Each structure stands twice: as C-alpha cells, then as structure tokens.
Structure 1
C-alpha cells in the first residue's frame, strides 16, 4: 500500500483525473470509457481511483456539472461583454449545438449527455436550475434595456427545443434545414 496523499496532492490528482477523463469521454464516449485506462494514464492504482469516485458514473456526472457551470459562466460573460441580443444568442447557440453534437461525444452520450444536463427540464431540480440560468440571462438583457415577451419557461423550452433539433439532425435528414428555419422563425417571433 502506498503512502497517503497530502490534501494538496489529492486536489491536484483529482483535477488531473477529471481532465484526463473528460478528454477520454469526449473521444470515446461513456460506453467505451475504461477506468483502468484512466488510472494507467493518471499513474494511480485502481484503488486510488475509488478513493475519489464511487464509479465512472460519479466521475462522469461531476465532470458534466463542472462543464455545465463553465459553459454557463461563458454564456453569461458573452451576453454581457459582447452585448449579445436574444436573437444573436439563440442563433449562436444553435450553431454551437450543431457543431458540438457532431464533434463531441460529451454532448450526445448514450449514458447522460452534457445537453441533458444543460437543457432538459424533465426533473424538478434540473428544471429549476435551468430557469435560474434563464433568469440570469434575462436580467442581463433587462439591465441593457432589452425586454423579452417570452416567459422564463418558454425560453428554457426554446433552448431545449434547439438542443433536441440539433442532436437529431442526422435522423431528420434532408428536412432538417426547413424544420430548423420554422423553429427559428417561431422562436425569434417570441422574443
């Protein structure tokens, strides 16, 4: 048995584990991710991994929470510093979602995706968290004199609708562009 880690070493190692795991999840997806491969890259034993996380699901969910919070901080900063309007926000969001859902397995994972964490409203805690985020965005716009007629719930649903559309682009096929244009028009008319 190795020596125990100091608190500083534990904090540094946990960051390293999450960074390595995030890269692996992005490249491989949840299903193909192997803890043994992670521990080898991190230079720790399998038992060492379990001193930090119960299982790969717990690790994955912590990484998702961290990434969700990072993305939300970035969105708020962009809206505030770049004076992004609601129309600009939803147009940029759709572009980012289209890009990420085709290039990053973190966004479309078979276990639990970043999109689910960011936008789905299917449980009360997530729904309230999403509404709180929408209220933060709305406050920035209100402080800039931009009034939005849609309710917080409608805005949260619009974000979820964009995510659903973008994650199903391949299934929708040739009709995607026309479907996207209809949703875009409906969405922008509500703002």
Structure 2
C-alpha cells in the first residue's frame, strides 16, 4: 500500500491493528506486543503506524474498549438464552473461563499490566477503571434479578471471585471447581430467588 491512505484504508488498517493487538496481548502480553510485532502482523511500516496512532497505548486503549464491548455483548447473549439466576451463573462461568484462558489480558495486577497503566495519563487510568467497574454494574442492572444486598457488595463479591482466575500460583486444586462451588454457595445469598429458579 502506498503512502497515501484513504479513509477506507485507515479504517481497515486500524481494524487489523486492533485484531493483531488483541491477539498479541492475549498470548504475549503488553510489553512483547510491541510496534515491531504489530506492523509486521499487519504489513505496514513504523511510520505508517504513527500516522494511525500517536502511541502504542492509544491502540491498546481502543482494544480494551473493544474487548469490554465484546464481553458485554456475549454476557447479554447468554442471559437472553438462559434468563434468571441460572443464566447469571452460566455467564459468570463463561467470564471466569475467559479470564483463565487469557490472564495476560485480564490480570490487572501483573507487572506487565502495571507497566501499561504507568504509560497512561492519570485521566485515562481513571476512565479505564470506571469502564471496568461499569461492566459488572451494567450486567447486574440488566440481569432482571433482585439483589438482597447492595450493588457495591455484589460487585465486590463477583469481582473477588473473578480475580481468582488470574492468580498464577499453583494451589494444587482446580480453580474452576472452586469458583463454581463459591458461586453456587453465594449466589442465592446475593439474589432473591423467584419461583422459576426453584422449579
């Protein structure tokens, strides 16, 4: 492709860069998903990259928003197929498995992720954290379920459960089995149980 990019070229290249970035982030982590890797994957020069994005972090932020949107869409799809508490449990199980499959993308406390956050302006960090919190608040609000406890408490419990997926230490037990046990043990203390869930 020549040096001149049409609007269509720009949109296509950005889409390819987002896909390459998401794949690299999931498999290699933030640090190793560098501009050299991205430009090679997409087939553009470093100069062309900087015509599309001012920084690597600008692309990564776009990818984060894209992934958050995809997670939300998939969550709502699960809840539409299986409504009620069983659907919520199924969606939580799916999200937990996503976290386990891609810890480099979801482990917000890893040194790699901290390196990424340290590259961002403070307002971008706050915006990212708000978006992350908004995800669980949003799915709680749209679950159609009645909480027995406050939204803040429910958010804290579900966030803590999901966090166990990103723990790298081998504890000698199946994390998914423990997650399922804890979720089953707590979910009826978090939500009101209607007649449909008892049948």
Quick check: TM above 0.5?
yes
- C-alpha displacement of 1:175: 8.6
Counterpart in the other structure of 1:5: 5
* Residue 44 in structure 1 maps to residue 32 in structure 2: no
Change (3 A) 1:151 1:125: farther
- TM-score, with length taken from structure 2: 0.71
Give per-residue Cα distances to partners, 1:121-161, cap 9 Å, x unaligned: xx86456545654454344443xxx4221222122212211
Segments of 5+ residues of structure 1 without an aligned counterpart are: 117-122
Q: Distance in 2 between matches of 1:175 and 1:75?
A: 24
Question: Residue 150 of structure 1: SS of its match in structure 2?
Answer: coil
Counterpart in the other structure of 1:164: 163
CA contact (8 A) 2:26 2:103 kept: yes
Q: Distance in 2 between matches of 1:98 and 1:19?
A: 21
Q: Distance in 1 between matches of 2:136 and 2:22?
A: 26
Counterpart in the other structure of 2:112: 111
Counterpart in the other structure of 1:190: 190
Counterpart in the other structure of 1:75: 75
Name which of structure 1's ranges 93-102 and 42-51 shifts more when overlaid on structure 2: 93-102
Question: Residue 111 of structure 1: SS of its match in structure 2?
Answer: helix
Question: Residue 54 of structure 1: SS of its match in structure 2?
Answer: coil
Q: Distance in 2 between matches of 1:35 and 1:130?
A: 26
- C-alpha displacement of 1:71: 0.8
* Residue 152 in structure 1 maps to residue 151 in structure 2: yes
Segments of 5+ residues of structure 2 without an aligned counterpart are: 118-124, 192-199
- TM-score, with length taken from structure 1: 0.73
* Residue 84 in structure 1 maps to residue 83 in structure 2: yes
Question: Residue 33 of structure 2: SS of its match in structure 1?
Answer: coil
Change (3 A) 1:188 1:167: farther
CA contact (8 A) 2:16 2:42 kept: yes
Change (3 A) 1:124 1:105: closer
Q: Distance in 2 between matches of 1:30 and 1:17?
A: 14
What is the root-mean-square deviation in Å for CA atoms of aligned residues? 3.2
Q: Aligned pairs, how many?
A: 178
Q: Distance in 1 between matches of 2:139 and 2:66?
A: 19
Q: Distance in 1 between matches of 2:168 and 2:93?
A: 12
